[in-house]
Chains A and B, each alone.
Chain A
């Protein structure tokens, strides 16, 4: 089935430093979604990217979808302690018939030293 590789697995930064996590697929993706999960919490939807080369921004977060639609990145500028958590990418994959399900990357755990 569809797999997405997410790197790095862990990232520790000083507050104020930037952070980037990457998601890669061997096949072309129809779309990609990003979620954030705080420690002990549940995944919270951040954004969905659909178009080739798409770039979307949410305050200090920048999301990119590769031109070939095989990779994506999430970049956080000037991290804050509130950014701590695990960031997952997820792709829609076709299940039986016409239905879809989300396949998640393993996530990148971000810790921020104040």
Chain B
């Protein structure tokens, strides 16, 4: 049973470009969560999605950030017009159900030049 798959593992973007981060949940998991981790800090919740629905996006910056989890395919976290402050590790987690354990992917390390 493959774990949570994230790609790319590393992403380098110049200021103003777009970053697209992808996450395929574990088989059988319908709940996806995105977290951001700055260097030497804990993980900060960004958004919680189920198939075709954003359930809770209270941790998402209001501008430039968006997330989706389409009926088919992976969940996508999109950051438009990236700035240096967006440089961080972005982790995706999935769970089987609402109160179930969250399993994390290996993360995408975004570097903005």
Closest Cβ–Cβ distance, residue B32 to chain A (whole Å):
12
Contact status of A98 and B42, CB under 8 A, knowing A43-B91, A43-B104: no
User: Could you tell me if A96 and B58 are in contact, using CB atoms closer than 8 angstroms?
Assistant: yes
Point out which of A6, A101, A103, A105 has the most chain B C-beta atoms below 10 A from its C-beta. Answer: A101
**Chain B residue, CB-CB nearest to A96:** B56
Most buried by A among B43, B45, B59, B103: B43
Interface residues on B, range: 20 to 34
Given contacts A96-B58, A99-B55, A99-B56, contact A106 B103 (CB under 8 A): no
Question: With A42-B104, A95-B48, A106-B41 given, is the CB distance from A101 to B98 under 8 Å?
Answer: no
Measured CA separation A106–B107 after assembly (Å) = 18
Bound form: Cα–Cα A45–B42 in Å? 14
* Chain B residues, CB < 8 A from A104: 35, 42-44
CB within 8 Å of A: which of B89-107? Answer: 91, 93, 98-99, 101-107
CB < 8 Å A-B pair total: 62
- A107–B45 alpha-carbon span in the complex (Å): 15
A48 at the interface (CB under 8 A from B): yes
Name the B residues within 8 Å of A102 (CB-CB).
33, 35, 43, 45, 93, 102
Q: List 30 A-B contacts (CB under 8 A).
A: A33-B101, A35-B104, A42-B91, A42-B105, A43-B104, A45-B103, A45-B104, A48-B101, A88-B43, A92-B99, A95-B56, A96-B58, A98-B98, A99-B48, A99-B56, A99-B98, A100-B99, A101-B45, A101-B48, A101-B58, A101-B59, A102-B33, A102-B45, A104-B35, A104-B43, A104-B44, A106-B42, A107-B41, A107-B42, A109-B40
- Residues of B with Cβ closer than 8 Å to A? 33, 35, 40-45, 48, 55-56, 58-59, 91, 93, 98-99, 101-107
